[in-house]
Amino acid sequence: MDVLTDDVDALEGALLYPLIEQQGRDIVLYLHSYAGFPGSVAIAGYSKAERLAAGKPGGILGLIYQSAFISNPGDTLLQMIGGNYAPWQNPNTQTGLVSVINPKDTFYADVVEPLATTATDLTYYGVAAYDNRRVYLHTNQDQALPPFAQDAFVAGIGVKWNVIKLDTSHSLFYSEPQPLAALLIATTKGFLATYRKD
């Protein structure tokens, strides 16, 4: 079972292809946590810059990764977290899936109300096509992806990111939805401005 390939296909088939290829729309892709891993593969060929050069409408204006995995081709998630599962992870070696022992404290540590990965390697990396259009939202109180891991992801990828450090936990779309929405709107406007001609 190759869950990573399934996730790449689902992201491309349900979101990117219909919105960009069929409807010619411009989008900003927001990838959180594990979604950064399959998202880095699914975005191949969808950047606005690449599509403009090919005379095609629509495309991904820019990327926003929030406390997300960013990696190089050949990396696996297990390698990226040091080769051992985190204390909050419960791996199933038969299915390749990982469940979370205490999701509330791991993912929603700063949320008042309570609220799968595999060992497959990343074969294509599309983030390089987004120069000056990459934002990484670094969550300083993260219990799932500790700040040092997020720093390592950004530093180890070989491309420049605009890193915005936030004093939140892993799921700020629950704990800080209004500030996050304002940040996403401002970032999207910034991406749009890079495509405007004077």
Count, residues in the chain? 198
pLDDT at residue 76 above 80? no
Domains of the chain and CATH, by start: 3-193 (3.40.50.1820)
Q: What is the mean pLDDT of residues 113-141?
A: 72
Cα–Cα distance, 122 to 60 (Å, whole number): 20
Mean of pLDDT values over 181-194:
94
Q: Alpha-carbon torsion 61, 67, 70, 75, what sign?
A: negative
Q: Which tokens sit at 60?
A: 């991904």
**pLDDT at 158 (0 to 100):** 84
The pLDDT of residue 3: 67
CA 93 to chain centre: 25
Q: Both ends of the chain: CA-CA distance in Å?
A: 50
Q: Give mean pLDDT, residues 96-121.
A: 64
Of the listed ranges 90-104, 110-124, 134-148, 152-166, the one predicted with least confidence: 110-124
pLDDT score recorded for residue 188: 95
Q: Give the confidence band of 124 by pLDDT, cuts at 50, 70, 90.
A: low
- Inform me whether the pLDDT recorded for 118 exceeds 50: no
